[in-house]
Structure 1
């Protein structure tokens, strides 16, 4: 089912945005780790001081970035670490942190992914229906293969095998990614009945749609997983997919990119 509506600071989806290749990084206020912006979640404050997720990173003013799992966020909230970190981030501003912030972040990320899938469907990049997905997969016309969280093992196995054939990767064990969304959520997002599997059209020379989808998938998967790791370790994240296109992978270097601040924990965007 679709997650309950939450307050929005702004629209949760931006028009096609590729993973950040500029080297711009932000520091998680809880873990202290640096990572590319597109792998983190921005928090911002509403005019009345309520701390809310800003997953599109479009809200005005200062922002604070987090890159931890929901479990870690909720622990930090309970133990007071989050409040202290946010007070530093927002320079002592009067803040109100909702008790259900973890749920709000997860809901915003799920909505962001659903919106992205909807945009790609309207642009003709989403392939639906098991028979059509299998046909396109075997022909090597899918850049990504995704399965609902409640999809059957048998259904996944058949399509995964077809995908490996099309990628000339038989025997590799490669498989599509199991999403942290069930068939009901996918059906609502795409306006179709009983969406259990979907493919993202593309090939080695055109991975843009798959990269946009994978960016949204990775952030949600990392947030809902214990320890902040994607539940399906075999599935590539947006940075892995950059390697397929031959372009540079967003770096984790501690050295600033020339002319820019590589690590901006709170500043305006």
Structure 2
């Protein structure tokens, strides 16, 4: 018996602009609200017929220029001017929520030395680093963990707020489901920001 989460991972979706098929993890779902406004559905749970686009800023611009949403919905729709920022803010919020849940579940380690120790124990699935941390320290930390994915989206102050500290420069997410979820949202976010 295939459970629902495994089934959704196997389903392919087609980008309305590029016509490429792919897993939902690399795409953004959009729906049309009752007042005919395009809404990004980052949780993929909103009602309505889903319209999928590759998670890429250029693809979104092409979709808007070519009026892809109106054609797919078969009616005139309104595309918000801040649609791109809605996606960016929404994905950042999802990553923050996942980090907060990981912290509450006891799946996060903070601090340079503690993170290095967890890396040596092979229990780390993802390294989070502050964008405004020392480049030299970043390289030192990653020297023993080149095989591990790492992301830097938030400042030390923002990470501190998420993790209940004054500031956090280095954090490690332990191997598990939080890693997969954060990496998927980070990949989608990377299509919209550098």
Q: Provide the TM-score with structure 2 as the length reference.
A: 0.85
Greater helix content: 2
- Return the offset for 1:146: 2.3
CA contact (8 A) 1:69 1:224 kept: no
- Return the offset for 1:88: 2.2
Q: 1:194-222: per-residue Cα shift (whole Å, max 9, x none)?
A: 222211112xxxx4332222222222123
Does residue 34 (structure 1) correspond to residue 21 (structure 2)? The answer is: yes
Q: How many residues are treated as equivalent by the alignment?
A: 191
Greater strand content: 2
CA 1:46–1:191 in 2, change beyond 3 Å: closer, same or farther? farther
CA contact (8 A) 1:39 1:67 kept: yes
Which structure carries more relative contact order (alpha carbon 8 Å, separation 6+)? Answer: 1
2:186 aligned residue: 217
Structure 2: runs of 5+ lacking an equivalent: none
Report SS of the residue matched to 2:69.
Answer: helix
CA 1:101–1:200 in 2, change beyond 3 Å: closer, same or farther? same
2:43 aligned residue: 56
CA contact (8 A) 1:144 1:199 kept: yes
Give the CA RMSD over aligned residues: 2.4
CA 1:154–1:66 in 2, change beyond 3 Å: closer, same or farther? same
Q: Provide the TM-score with structure 1 as the length reference.
A: 0.63
CA contact (8 A) 2:161 2:167 kept: no
- Match among 61, 73, 91 for residue 60 of structure 2: 73
CA 1:75–1:149 in 2, change beyond 3 Å: closer, same or farther? farther
